[in-house]
Chain A
């Protein structure tokens, strides 16, 4: 009973709210071979597409998760429902992360097929970086109640990574390209902390049950 209810929530959410974001993230994946050469790269060269494109997918998938309720009318309707909003948000996060993992693995698989030096560890690191950037956008949009602020911070953080390179230390999204050790676990932990903090903030200060 509960599982079928949750499945209905997910399918309706995906269909009405997030299908376009999922398609946009898939479009980023399809754009990767257009922007980058993805054949016969060594591990260092492989890191470049892996650390530039998946973070974009992460920010497209995770940042807008609060956007449907930004419309006051929808918010009022949603508030009258018994279903926990925190649970719905968590389901959205899980869906986004699962899709992100699929997209990252597809990119990695394609690169391996084309004789690139890509390992499972690199893909895990890629996923951590992408999730961290998405989680940053998610957190900011939860905090400011405005998805555009979420995009603003996450896109600018991404741009800072392109220009500041290793000056961001362990928080650098492109650590494999710039040879920074121990950055990916920090990013993975940051992603979890930011998502948890966003949910906690909404629970405590926005009265979301």
Chain B
């Protein structure tokens, strides 16, 4: 009964309408647009191969160029940043380069004076690039990764030497025609079309689901406060635990409706694009649900708990920061990089089944982990609600009257 009432309240709110419009717009402009005309995998598209020689060769030449120019390009927050190192750190890099190339003294200087020189932007400092710096014979890849990790640390992260992205940065090779055909066959036969499409769908939908629910949760709470409903609800006999969980369940349920309808739309599109082909229809619903529901649950739970403890604005700010960190940082690699604690999993391709399966354990773990975190957060929210209801707690205000950061007169 309460669940139905709450669902009706959410569906009639302006926030839900805006949520639906934005969600559909995202779906139409991203997924639907990408899949129009069917999936096309051509030769010349890049695929990742873990070739250690290729990685070491690419990274050492890149490092040589950046070291000689003393201008290291990094993307610590997903945006361009040029880092210039102090003399002592430059010397450390030089020592690493000597170790990797197996050269010393004059030999090293001769090797590093042969770079191609050019200028970029409005800078009068030259940039150098190298393509023939050799790696010492038999140099171990493990040691190389250690060095790269230290270099990346010195640069503050997000550099071209981050051990996590070495494979992506230096070991991508264009697919041959046969390989592209094999990839397409895998999309048709192993993924049975919908498997690949479901991954692409989830990838796109996860971006907006990582943030939109927090607004709806904050909106509903602020609407309650505005209409002074708290006082009325506080006096009812329903337990705080049941009330908070019912409201949360209603929030998650209603917000999943547009996502479900988008799955139906995606399936209809697939049926039109691949008429008469063998398809695994249930996977178009099961995979996105498993993938997206924890994201939606977490964003909504954050909205509920932080609004309850602090304020709606704090909830929005916190979730924006979390969303930014999970999507924008390390955004170069959109395929095959799913960690055990990744909230918004990315796999921006209907193909590359093998890369996705490589991280399947991490993927499954992360889904259960975030779902469990969400439930714990809602339990905290219920506890806080109970404390507020009993008059033992009155939310932590940061600013304004009674705020902890307010300047005392």
Q: Residues on A close to B: CB < 8 A?
A: 20, 35-37, 39-42, 45, 48-49, 52, 70-72, 115-117, 140, 144, 146, 148-149, 151-153, 155-156, 159-160, 162-164, 167
Contact = CB atoms under 8 A, between A and B. Distances in A.
A36 B215 contact: no
Given A41-B121, A146-B15, 7 more contacts: A35-B79, A40-B82, A40-B122, A49-B79, A72-B228, A146-B223, A148-B313
The secondary structure that dominates the A interface is helix
B320 to A, nearest CB: 7
A49 B78 CA distance: 12
A65 to B, nearest CB: 14
Nearest to A34: B77
Interface string B166-188: 00000000000000000000000
Interface of B is mostly: helix
Contacts of A20: 399
Most buried by A among B122, B316, B320: B122
Interface stretch (B23-31, B86-94, B356-364): B23-31
A37 B82 contact: yes
B219 interface: yes
Chain B interface size range: 35 or more
B123 interface: yes
A188 to B, nearest CB: 24
Contact of A152 (B18, B83, B328, B399): B18
Interface in B30-87: 30, 33, 77, 79-83
B399 A42 contact: no
Contacts of A117: 121-122
A41 B122 contact: yes
Contacts of B223: 146
A139 to B, nearest CB: 13
A149 B125 CA distance: 48
Contacts of A146: 14-15, 219, 222-223, 226
B208 interface: yes
A151 B122 contact: no
A151 B29 contact: no
A41 B80 CA distance: 10
Contact of A148 (B15, B80, B83, B123): B15
A-B CB proximity, top 8 nearest: A37-B81, A42-B121, A40-B123, A152-B215, A37-B82, A144-B14, A148-B219, A35-B77
Nearest to B316: A151
Nearest to A32: B79
B312 interface: yes
Nearest to B121: A42
Contacts of B320: 155
Contacts of A35: 77, 79, 81
Nearest to B84: A39
Interface in B193-251: 207-208, 211-212, 215, 218-219, 222-223, 226, 228
B222 A148 contact: yes
Nearest to A148: B219
A48 B316 contact: no
A64 to B, nearest CB: 9
B318 to A, nearest CB: 13
A152 B219 contact: yes
A35 B123 CA distance: 20
Nearest to A20: B399
B80 A70 contact: no
B25 A160 contact: yes
A124 to B, nearest CB: 20
A164 B30 contact: yes
B77 to A, nearest CB: 5
Contacts of A39: 82
B5 interface: no
B22 interface: yes
A144 B226 CA distance: 13
B236 to A, nearest CB: 22
Interface string B311-334: 011001000100000001000000
Contacts of B125: 40
Most buried by B among A71, A140, A144, A149: A149
B15 A153 contact: no
Given A42-B120, A149-B15, A160 B26 contact: yes
A15 to B, nearest CB: 11
